[in-house]
Structure 1
Amino acid sequence: MEENKINDLSGTAVKKDAREKMLSGSAWMTAGSITSRILGAIYIIPWVTWFGAYSNEANALFAQGYNIYSYFLVIATAGIPSAISKLVAHYNGINEYGVSRRLYHSGMYVSMVMGMICAIIMLFGASLMDNGDPNVIPVIQSLAWAVLIIPAMSITRGFLQGYNWMAPSAMSQFVEQLFRVIYMLAATYFIMKIKHGSWVSAVTQSTFAAFVGALGAIIVLIIAWLRHLNEMNELVQHSVSNAEVSTTSLILKIVYQSIPFIIIEGGINLYQLIDQYTFPRMMSMVGHFSHYQVTVLYALFSFNANKLYMIVISLASAMAATVIPLLATARAQNDHEGMRKQIQNVLLLFYFVMIPAALGLSAVSQQIYTVFYRYDAAGVVVLQVSAYISILLGLYTVGAAMMQGISENKKMMTFLGIGIIVKFLVQFPCIWIFEGVGPLVATGISMFVVNYLILHSFNMEFNLRFDKMAVPTNQILAYSLVMFVGTKIVMLIIGHFVSSYGRYTAFFSLIPGVLVGVGIYLYLILKSRLADRLLGPRVERLRILLHIK
């Protein structure tokens, strides 16, 4: 009797059905990721306005600093949050909660040391990474402070995700973004509007806001930790004791697991760095472009469009964070069938959300770009191309996470290596042919190759039931296309009566377009019962509420 009670207690973190966990976790992570991304996009409207004529140069400078910062951040955290999430789920899955607690402490030591090393390199080595632009140096240095403290924040998120507690991560993401946006807007307004100071100083303070945001996130995670502390202690107390797993072996295991995460999670950052260091040189080889023209073109795809399509990709990132611990648990329990079903569920859920979101962004691209940055024909074209490329980038994010979840790190690193080679091979031809959108096309071609390799690998190992996936996948694609056409028609009709070149008119044109698009897709997925198949019986309540039979 007592043994059953103990078993019940130790199983509380993994008791739910895996599908329910994935949906619940995805809901929390999607909510946190989407709200923080939307907040991170909305600030652009006043931010760009206050920079005035310097807006595109400010955007390009911000993007250059952030691309370098993002990769240093991946190195500083050493991929540890995702590795911790996976390893904690593994040890929890075999009822060794004490080991997972020691794992967290060991990982914290490693990540704090890495954060200090990377922050020092950014502070004193910024001039070596400026790509010939001295304005980049203070921006990189301002971001070093965030790299110093974010590893501790990130590893705590990973630990809580290993228990499938996604709410603290989601809430900390939102608070981090809120603190960051408040500081950067206040600093920019003060420098540009009150002091009439340097736009480079305003960008520098805007990037330093990452440190302020991280402080806010840490406060949320500390509160969450204290709330769950008794539950975690009880699980540790009733778990299987495994003294054979030493602290040294845990640190080695973390490092071994985290190296692939550095490379794989930094994949998209690697592509952005390739663009940052090759685009200006290659553009000078294909035509006579001034430094200002190249800077503006770079800003269009690296910052302007990136800020908007990353909202869509954040959907994939949320699912990726959810699926790693679930797959790791299934792998620890040697549940081959469970892993196959998880992979299929994640792919269908990804298509279900990502395809309509990307097509919807493309359908309203002119209006949404105008609202955020003022009308620019070139910017609209870049955003439209980016919307389609975001599907491939999102699929890479989810696919790479699943490969890591089933411990296929070496294979995933090989696939990414092939993709980077493809990117280098097609980068110049694509820039030569497509100029400003060339880097996006090159990334799309490369990601297509990587995604094919990932899906082929899954099929070879798990024999995925593509025949069963075909019907819902085709439904998603068909409904998304119907939504795209319907939304586009609405936008064209509104465009005949209202100018879409002004910010305010574009905003009021955007609202009915978005409502129509969401309405069409929602009606089709509810009417066909597609939503029930993918999200479960809870959707029935929504159908009743909307009177859809």
Structure 2
Amino acid sequence: MTNSSDTKATDKSSQSKMLRGSAWMTAGSIFSRILGAIYVIPWPIWFGVNFLAANNLFGRGYQIYSVLIVVSTAGIPGALSKQIAHYNEMNEYGVGQKLFQKSLILMLIMGILSAGALYLLAPVLSQGDARMIPVFHSLCWPLLVIPLLSIMRGFFQGYAEMAPSAISQFIEQVARVIYMTVTVFVITQVLRGSYIDAVTQATFAAFIGAVAGLLLLIWHYLKQRPRIEKLIAGSNNAITVSTNDLLKGIIKQSIPFIVIDASINLVYIIDQYSFNRMMSDFVIASDHQLWNLYTLFAVNANKLISITVSLAAAMAVTAVPLMSAAHVRGNQKELRQQIGSTIQLFNLVMIPAAFGMAAVAGPLYTLFYSHDALGISVLQFSSYISILLGLFTVLGAILQGLYQNRLALFYLLIGFIVKVVAQYPAIYFFRVYGPLVSTGLAFATSSILMLAALHRYYHFDVWQTIRRLIGIVGFSVIMYLITSLTVKGLLLVFNPQSRLQSVLVLMISVAVGGLVYAVLALKSRLADYVLGSNLDRFRRKLKLK
């Protein structure tokens, strides 16, 4: 029989791993997303009148590329981290190592196939737009490397080591942004070349970044190899699994990861291939004008909300191996607590982040693109929709970590049906906001079904989660109101159309909003309850005690 003190220690250890892993992955995701968005700041100046066209080409190319990245990795990194955590919990480190080696070979093959497919399909995917073909061809190169990079991240995540993944994400983005910035500047400002050539080099930068991230992970693996070999030597070796069985198991586990991981991008693909056709039924506009409208929500806004959605993605990556390990131990109490803690941690971080982005949407959009009333309004609406995207990401990861893959896929399918059915009427009633409305309805539907299933099968504490959610939403609304007033007050002094002055407005308003939320969460001790730790030292620093 399990000792109660041991159970408490295990619960605390799991929560500690969740917080530490989420902290690393969140830091890595946030910094890499910010770096991945910073490149666009000088683009309006460098591209001039071609800015929206350049951003449109870049965004359309990346939408297809993002889906192919998920397919080319075949969901194996996520499945690998889950399986390695499973075998490690059984003290079968040798099986996990063998699985990793076989997955590397499989990923190399998948990378070659996906790169070849994109190269050959480029004319079809371009929808007759010849400018897109060189962009797609440039994205074939990173497809050769990204699968190997992803599988190494999955390996370390299976050991609950999130730091290597987080640091490699950061290095990947640094190398990518440096190459992109230098080449775009040289082509547009020095050589006075074509904006299409500049965008092509900007997308090729993904290859440079992937190589840099891969080299870092290889170095870390070599550094950790003696410790890993020691763990393998101490394995039970009670399980013998054939190569075919290993690969079948990993592929079977990976299929849900493919669909779940690609779900948001697949929804964006629906928008990419339907928005212009559907909008042309309701408005009189040229293709160029429709592509500009598409760019506002599908490229400009999505690039910025990806920063907040990355918070959820970081938690999802951390949750999968921890849920899998808890499932192996069969401790129902630990599972209930882990599910509740993950959802509450998501709420504590994601909801204020989304409300905060909506509050500072004006200066934020102006800084990255230029002052545009419609673009700012679309970003505000997108900020709220990002909560649903993030919630779906986390809940899908929890279900997969608990081996409820069919449920996750079934609920996602229902969400897709809602998206397709709602797309046309949503565009009819809400025009440029329509795709965002249908996306919100789709992921809200899937998330509600997933929450109901988690409560039905695992009985996590719903009322505790709801009580804390009410507090988090209340504090987020207060923070939003104060931050919005701060922005409006500052814009009476600063020029709202100045990108440089927007930086000052953004810095001050974000600091005010962050401080308000921190004070409310600490003063009420809501942060202590969710994080499961005493935060008195932060209260002392803020003189709240």
Matched pairs, number: 536
Which of residues 37, 55, 80 is equivalent to 2:33?
37
Separation in 2 of the partners of 1:401 and 1:297? 33
Following TM superposition, by how much is the alpha carbon of 1:498 offset from its aligned partner in structure 2, in angstroms?
2.4
Separation in 1 of the partners of 2:152 and 2:511? 38
- Give the 5 Å matches for 1:7-86: 17-86=13-82
Following TM superposition, by how much is the alpha carbon of 1:515 offset from its aligned partner in structure 2, in angstroms?
1.2
Which of residues 122, 125, 144 is equivalent to 2:121?
125
Deviation sequence 1:146-178 (CA, Å, 0-9, x none): 011111110010010000000000000000000
Q: List gaps (5 residues or longer) in structure 2.
A: 1-9
1:409 aligns with 2:405: yes
Deviation sequence 1:235-287 (CA, Å, 0-9, x none): 10001114521111001111111111111111001101100111111111111
Q: What TM-score results when the alignment is normalised by the length of structure 1?
A: 0.96
Instruction: Please tell me whether the aligned partners of residues 392 and 448 of structure 1 are also in contact (alpha carbons under 8 angstroms).
Output: yes
Following TM superposition, by how much is the alpha carbon of 1:15 offset from its aligned partner in structure 2, in angstroms?
11
SS at structure 2 position matched to 1:286: coil
Q: Which residue of 1 aligns with 2:7?
A: none
Which of residues 263, 268, 286 is equivalent to 1:267?
263
Instruction: Please tell me whether the aligned partners of residues 157 and 318 of structure 2 are also in contact (alpha carbons under 8 angstroms).
Output: yes
Following TM superposition, by how much is the alpha carbon of 1:505 offset from its aligned partner in structure 2, in angstroms?
2.1
Matched to 2:443, the amino acid is: M
Following TM superposition, by how much is the alpha carbon of 1:16 offset from its aligned partner in structure 2, in angstroms?
7.4
Q: Which residue of 2 aligns with 1:420?
A: 416
Q: List gaps (5 residues or longer) in structure 1.
A: 1-13
Alignment RMSD (CA, Å): 1.2
1:534 aligns with 2:498: no
Separation in 2 of the partners of 1:280 and 1:33? 32
1:327 aligns with 2:319: no
Instruction: Please tell me whether the aligned partners of residues 309 and 387 of structure 1 are also in contact (alpha carbons under 8 angstroms).
Output: yes
Separation in 2 of the partners of 1:181 and 1:538? 39
SS at structure 1 position matched to 2:281: helix
Deviation sequence 1:306-342 (CA, Å, 0-9, x none): 1111100010010000000000001112222211111
SS at structure 2 position matched to 1:490: helix
Deviation sequence 1:52-104 (CA, Å, 0-9, x none): 11111111111110011011111110000000000000000111100000010
Separation in 2 of the partners of 1:426 and 1:44? 32
Q: Which residue of 1 aligns with 2:369?
A: 373
Matched to 2:433, the amino acid is: V
Which of residues 512, 525, 539 is equivalent to 2:508?
512
Matched to 2:279, the amino acid is: M
Which of residues 533, 542, 545 is equivalent to 2:541?
545
- Bigger shift: residues 390-399 or 257-266: 257-266
Separation in 2 of the partners of 1:363 and 1:136? 35
- Give the 5 Å matches for 1:181-200: 181-200=177-196
Q: Which residue of 1 aligns with 2:338?
A: 342
SS at structure 1 position matched to 2:280: helix
SS at structure 2 position matched to 1:95: coil
Matched to 2:472, the amino acid is: I
Following TM superposition, by how much is the alpha carbon of 1:137 offset from its aligned partner in structure 2, in angstroms?
1.1
Q: Which residue of 1 aligns with 2:488?
A: 492
SS at structure 2 position matched to 1:17: helix
Following TM superposition, by how much is the alpha carbon of 1:538 offset from its aligned partner in structure 2, in angstroms?
5.1
Change beyond 3 A, Cα 1:315–1:203: same
Instruction: Please tell me whether the aligned partners of residues 44 and 370 of structure 2 are also in contact (alpha carbons under 8 angstroms).
Output: no
SS at structure 2 position matched to 1:472: helix
Deviation sequence 1:395-430 (CA, Å, 0-9, x none): 011011111100111111111111111101010111
Matched to 1:21, the amino acid is: K
Which of residues 351, 354, 360 is equivalent to 2:356?
360
Q: Which residue of 2 aligns with 1:113?
A: 109
Instruction: Please tell me whether the aligned partners of residues 94 and 333 of structure 1 are also in contact (alpha carbons under 8 angstroms).
Output: no
Q: Which residue of 2 aligns with 1:100?
A: 96
- Give the 5 Å matches for 1:353-502: 353-502=349-498
| Identity between Structure 1 and Structure 2 (%) | 45
Separation in 2 of the partners of 1:242 and 1:152? 29
SS at structure 1 position matched to 2:166: helix
1:161 aligns with 2:143: no
